Amino acid sequence: MYKIALITGDGIGPELSESVIDVLDVINDNLGVKVEVTKLQAGDAALKKTGKALPDETVEQIKKSDACLKAPVGESAADVIVVLRRLLDLYANIRPAKSYPNMPALKENIDMVIVRENTEDLYTGMEFEVGETIIALRSISKNASERIARHAFATSEQRDGKRKVTCVHKSNVMRKTDGLFAKTCEQVAKRYPKITFEHMYVDACAMNLIRQPESFDVIVTTNLFGDILSDEASQVVGGLGMAPAANIGDRFALFEPVHGAAFDIAGKQVANPSSFILSAKMMFEWLGIKNSDKSCQDVAKKIEDAVYGIVKDGIKTRDIGGNKSTKEFTQNVISRII
Ligand code: ATP
């Protein structure tokens, strides 16, 4: 039995959470993997109700779980996810961008993963006022750069892909910080002679994600660049509604959609639940590897095949050119999982 903590979130978060709970119920009842879901509060609604965007009780429950699923939260996102990443040392943010059939995509045959360093860079919140100027501190360490580089090479090794790691930075301008990141990745690359290694400046990468996205396998980059490039990559393959993500540490992991709370479509049953359902798929993959549990890998494959199959048959939500509601889409996924 796997204990899963589920943060239901804000905006479209609760709708997406219902979809994921329905999918997990079906897995629990029909496949060989048992899960027990505990719903938790965090985000804007939690802040209003409890005075804390990330209540202590939520953190305690997450720590007692095998994995955490997190729906998007609203304005208080920085007080929830950025804090959780630090508290649980979830140093690797894994954001796949993969082509699915029948998508409003810029290009096809894309299968890449962005491995984003999750704990430092400009996201540590070190901002200071000096007169009328604000100074933000950017920290990049050898240790954090090394472990994210190792994670990127291991990811490329595990994938059935092009066996290439592209290290994205701007070391020609940020010579010290990105210089260290680039040099450290280069050193780690020497331990993986079978994997092609290349450097790319972030501006060139932003361009190449549009021009030749199919040429990428694994991109490894710092926190802010990874945040921006992964939104871009998800748009190239069909939009945020199809974009899952994982935050992985050595002991724990949290899975969440790439997108935010999307208040503009909240409560309308038009949100695409694929981003969260595919995040659950990434969770089962991780549980499978961590616990050497093949049945989790099988569940992950079933989820992936179900989503792939229904969009291939043209069953889609509005954001990807269809007319199915969140619930209808979810029911179609479920009917293919069983
Ligand atoms: P954040 O800054 O927290 O990432 P944001 O304001 O940039 O959030 P998102 O909430 O990430 O915006 O989403 C941008 C837009 O993409 C939304 O306004 C919505 O229209 C669309 N969108 C995002 N997620 C989905 C989804 N799951 N299904 C359908 N449309 C979505």
Domain count, the chain: 2
Mean pLDDT, residues 258-278: 97
81 lines ligand 1 (CB under 6 A): no
Going by pLDDT thresholds of 50, 70 and 90, the confidence category of residue 324 is: very high
Residues 252 and 328 in one domain: yes
Mean pLDDT, residues 147-170: 96
pLDDT of 238 above 90:
no
241 lines ligand 1 (CB under 6 A): yes
Residue 101 counted as domain residue = no
Query: Which domain CATH number covers 287?
Result: 3.40.718.10
CA distance 20 to 71: 10
Residues 232 and 265 in one domain: no
Structure confidence at residue 138 (pLDDT): 97
Compute the distance from residue 263 Cα to the ligand 1 centre, in Å.
8
Residue 224 counted as domain residue = yes
pLDDT of 161 above 90:
no
Six-digit token string for 191:
């331990």
| Mutation to probe ligand 1, out of 16, 228, 232, 259 (largest number of atoms < 8 A from CB) | 259
Q: What is the DSSP letter of 159?
A: S
Q: Whose CA is nearest to atom 19 of ligand 1?
A: 262
Structure confidence at residue 124 (pLDDT): 84
CA distance 322 to 300: 25
Residues 185 and 208 in one domain: yes
Using DSSP, state whether 70 is helix, strand or coil: strand
Structural domain containing residue 179: 106-236
pLDDT tens-digit series, residues 108-138: 899 999 999 999 999 888 999 999 999 999 9
Residues 121 and 199 in one domain: yes
Q: What is the DSSP letter of 319?
A: G
Using DSSP, state whether 207 is helix, strand or coil: helix
Compute the distance from residue 265 Cα to the ligand 1 centre, in Å.
9
pTM score, two decimals? 0.93
Structure confidence at residue 125 (pLDDT): 85
The H-assigned helical ranges of the chain are 13-30, 44-50, 56-63, 77, 83-87, 142-158, 177-189, 202-211, 223-237, 274-290, 294-312, 326-337
Q: Whose CA is nearest to atom 14 of ligand 1?
A: 262
Residue 5 counted as domain residue = yes
Mean pLDDT, residues 162-179: 98
Residue 170 counted as domain residue = yes
Residues 232 and 244 in one domain: no
- Nearest Cα to Cα of residue 138 among 125, 157, 155: 125
| Active site (annotated) includes residue 111 | no
pLDDT of 160 above 90:
no
Six-digit token string for 271:
């949100």
pLDDT of 286 above 90:
yes
Going by pLDDT thresholds of 50, 70 and 90, the confidence category of residue 40 is: very high
Residues 84 and 175 in one domain: no
- Please identify, among 171, 203, 236, the residue that sits at the C-terminal boundary of a domain: 236
Strands 164-169 and 2-7: unpaired
pLDDT of 212 above 90:
yes
CA distance 36 to 217: 35
Residues 125 and 62 in one domain: no
Residue 153 counted as domain residue = yes
Structure confidence at residue 53 (pLDDT): 98
pLDDT of 247 above 90:
yes
121: left (phi over 0), alpha (psi -120 to 50) or beta: left
| Active site (annotated) includes residue 227 | yes
Compute the distance from residue 320 Cα to the ligand 1 centre, in Å.
13
- Nearest Cα to Cα of residue 73 among 276, 291, 229: 276
Residues 110 and 225 in one domain: yes
Residues 132 and 162 in one domain: yes
pLDDT of 36 above 90:
yes
- Please identify, among 190, 220, 236, the residue that sits at the C-terminal boundary of a domain: 236
- Please identify, among 236, 267, 284, the residue that sits at the C-terminal boundary of a domain: 236
| Mutation to probe ligand 1, out of 230, 240, 320 (largest number of atoms < 8 A from CB) | 240
pLDDT tens-digit series, residues 175-207: 999 999 999 999 999 999 999 999 999 999 999
pLDDT tens-digit series, residues 63-108: 999 999 999 999 999 999 989 998 999 999 999 999 999 999 999 8
